[in-house]
Structures are given as C-alpha cells and as structure tokens.
Structure 1
C-alpha cells in the first residue's frame, strides 16, 4: 500500500484565539499559518507526491494551496476527514469549556465522549480511518504501492488516526501531540500499519520515499516499514542512507 503523510492544517485564527473552531465556516489561516503553509513545498521537495487529499474546511484547503501550486496537483476533497463536529461546543473559548463535566471525559475517557448536539470521538476515529484506508487503496491502485500522498486534516482527527495505527486505545489519544502544520506518516500494509513519523515540524522527509528495487528485484535496505511488507524488522530499522 501507499504511504500517507498526515498533515495538520497550519495555524488558524481560531488556534491563535484559543477557540474551538470545529466546523464553523470562515476560519482561515492567520499570518503565522500562511507562513507555515508557504514552507511546505520546500519541506516536501524531495518527496514525490502522487495525490493531495483534504478536509473540506477552508483552513485545510488554504494550507495545501502552496503545495498544490508547486506540484500541479488538484486536492481531492474527502468529507470524512473534516474536523470533529463539536456541536454546542463549537465556537466557544477553551477557557469556558474546562469547567464543563464533559471536559474531564474528553481528557480521561475520550472513547466515551459525545459532544452535545455533535458527534462522538469514537465515531470520528472510525470514519477517518475508513476514509484514509479507502483513499490509500485508490491511490495505490492508480499510482502503485510505493506512492506517497498527503492528507490534510485536523488535530483531533489525526490523533485518533495515529492511535489506531499504533494499536493504542482511543483513550490514549490525548497522549499524542500534533502541532499546526506538522506531519505524521503512516504506511498501511495488509496486516498492520507502520507509523514512520509523528508531529514532525520540519525534519528531512526524503527518507519516507520507499526504496527502489535493485537489479535482482530485492528492495535496497530491507526495511519492512518502507517496502510494504507486513513483518516488522527484528532489531530495528536500518535507517536511510
């Protein structure tokens, strides 16, 4: 299967104001976010990208604009990668929410959290993982199993996806940090996902590209996490050259 770069949107006006934006329309990138998005073509310069997929919300599509223009790719909108529907919590300041009884559930038992007039975090994880796997299968079929693609989504959505990929219970997802415009990387295989990066804020990403087959058909540098094999490397990965 292909390799997916999970990109959280760059910093938004709601992030800067400590407001829970949710699916509220009109939430764009702030000046810092615009600068963060502008760095993406350079950060991913060494990574061949087969496709861009995005949440329908403005801040995600705005984040991908510089990268899409640089690569000549048109992002595909995936509704199931949209932000959590926070229901009645949408648009409220975080300092107003910390005293809500549900806040403690969201922090300590998120698998049981259902936002008033919104959706539950368990449902968010289910829809996002299913959508990513479906898009990954499509892109693998169209561009080959060694292709790399970007999915731009939201903090809680990406954290839930990473918890699933790590085989961790959703109740542990609050231990995962995903900053604005950070990348986390997952490679799905037939039997398990491999998590290659979490919350990367600017490192060398060229090592995400799967190695090319050698003349005898074997993969250069036998690293199962990058060749698509489902078995893990015993003793740890050999790294990149």
Structure 2
C-alpha cells in the first residue's frame, strides 16, 4: 500500500513539475504530506524517485527545485545546438577567446597537420536559454579556414562552416570521461568547484575524410548524459 501511495504521489508531482519552470521551488516534505494526506516517509520516497529521474534537485538547507531538462546525446551525429533545440532550449554561445597559435604535437596529430601549423583556438561557453551547460574549446586549421568571422561564433560552428565554407561534417569520433571541474571552470559553468562533469574530446571529419575540427567540451554532469546503442 505504501509503495502504491508513493508511486501515485510521484506521478502527481511529475505532472505538476511539467507545468513549472526550471528552478521553481517545490513544497517541503511536510507540506506535501499535508496536501496529499500521506506520511512524510511517502513524500520523501516520491521526491527521491523524482531526484533519481533528474526532474528535481535539492539544495541542503534551502529547498527542492525543478531541475533543468537534461540534454541526452545519442550516437546520431548532431551538433550541440541541435541537441539543445531537441530539448526545447534556445542555444547560444558566449565567445570567451579567439586566437591563433602554433599547433603542438597533440593538436597537430588530432587535426592531421604538421606541428607548428597555425591554428584557430576558439573557447566558448555554450548556453541553453542563457543557462551555462558546456565549456567548449575548438581547434581548426587556419590554413584551411583563414578567415573566421567572430559574429558567426555565437551559434553552431558546424552550421557556420557549412554556410561560409561549404564544409559539412559527416562523421565524428568521441572519447568521454568523468572529471571534476576546477575553479575557473566551475565559475563559468555555475557549479561548485569539484562538481562532476563529462569531458568530451571530439574529432569531426568531412565527406572527403579530412579532419574539420578537434574540440574538447566540458559538460555539466547534472545536465548532460550520453545514451549509446551497442551491438555485437
């Protein structure tokens, strides 16, 4: 019976949350217990289930709030902007740095160019509805893309390259690992220092097999997840 009550309450709260905005506060356990005539233990179990589903988040000593929708990255080749639009976000990018530098061995290997080749280094904070989600650094060959209009760097870089240079990304490789954010990263992403994040290293290729870009993205662990299909 208790299991039925907690699941019924979870479903009612989930329906309520669907009509609420991210960061909007939920009632306390005591208030929920009184409102729905259940025990506090039942209210607590329902809230825990919603937390596990990523629908709410709790801040100790402050309260429980509607979580921002998670962005699920699948094995389908899509840009960050496309991923955000699919979840109802308005994607934008804040340009933090745009510079030219000589390729070291690591970035030269990643891009398939000689060490010392001039590269574009573009650092951006990726946002959804003006909310920070990902810190991204992208490298491109300045020989292949000599002129990059900085006004194009506030949206999808892949879309900008296709429009301005006729280059279309058709394949990408990715390596993903769990990390903890440092001070500057935490400040930009709006999380506590040491918070969990996903570091994604991505190499994108065009239809001729040449590397278009190499990037490293630090994605908030509470907002970003990967869903992959593995077959034998």
Of the two structures, which has the highest relative contact order with CA contacts closer than 8 Å and spacing of 6 or more? 1
Short-chain TM bin? under 0.3
Q: Which has the larger Rg?
A: 2
Greater fraction of residues in helix:
1
Greater fraction of residues in strand:
2
TM-score by length of 2: 0.23
